[in-house]
């Protein structure tokens, strides 16, 4: 199946710092999604990107759909303790039914 490489695997940052994480794929995707998962919960959609080059913000979060359609990044500015969790990228290509998920970036924020 499709492989999504998500990095970094984990991050330890100080409150107030900015954070950046990214996903790359060997295949072209039509859509990129970014989710956050809190412990014991299902993932919650943060940002959806539908066009190559698209840059979308949601509060302190900004994500971009790479021009090559093979990558995406997520930035979090001025991190706060409640940003702690696991962030997943997901890509969709061709078959609208199927989504491929990265392995996640675990974010830890020190107050």
Partner 1 sequence: GAGVSQSPSNKVTEKGKDVELRCDPISGHTALYWYRQRLGQGLEFLIYFQGNSAPDKSGLPSDRFSAERTGESVSTLTIQRTQQEDSAVYLCASSKTSGASLETQYFGPGTRLLVL
Binding site for partner 1 (CB under 8 A): 4, 6, 31, 40-45, 48, 50, 88, 90, 92, 95-104
In which residue are the tokens 């993932």 written?
43
Given the complex with partner 1, which of 77 and 86 has the nearer CB atom? 86
Please say which residue, 16 or 94, places its beta carbon nearer to partner 1: 94
- Which of 89, 69, 67 is closest to 23 using CA atoms? 89
Name the residue nearer to partner 1 (CB basis): 18 or 38: 38
Q: What are phi and psi of 93, to 5 degrees?
A: -145, 135
Burial (CB count <10 Å: 0-12, 13-18, 19+), residue 75? middle
């Amino acid at each position: 199946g499709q492989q999504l490489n998500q990095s970094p695997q984990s991050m330890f940052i100080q409150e107030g710092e900015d954070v950046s994480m990214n996903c790359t794929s060997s295949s072209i995707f039509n859509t990129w999604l970014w989710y956050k998962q809190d412990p014991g919960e299902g993932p919650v959609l943060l940002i959806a990107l539908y066009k190559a080059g698209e840059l979308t913000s949601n509060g302190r979060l900004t994500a971009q759909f790479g021009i090559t359609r093979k990558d995406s990044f997520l930035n979090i500015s001025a991190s706060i303790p409640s940003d702690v969790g696991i962030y997943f990228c997901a890509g969709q290509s061709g078959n609208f039914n199927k989504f491929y998920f990265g392995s996640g970036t675990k974010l830890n924020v020190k107050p």
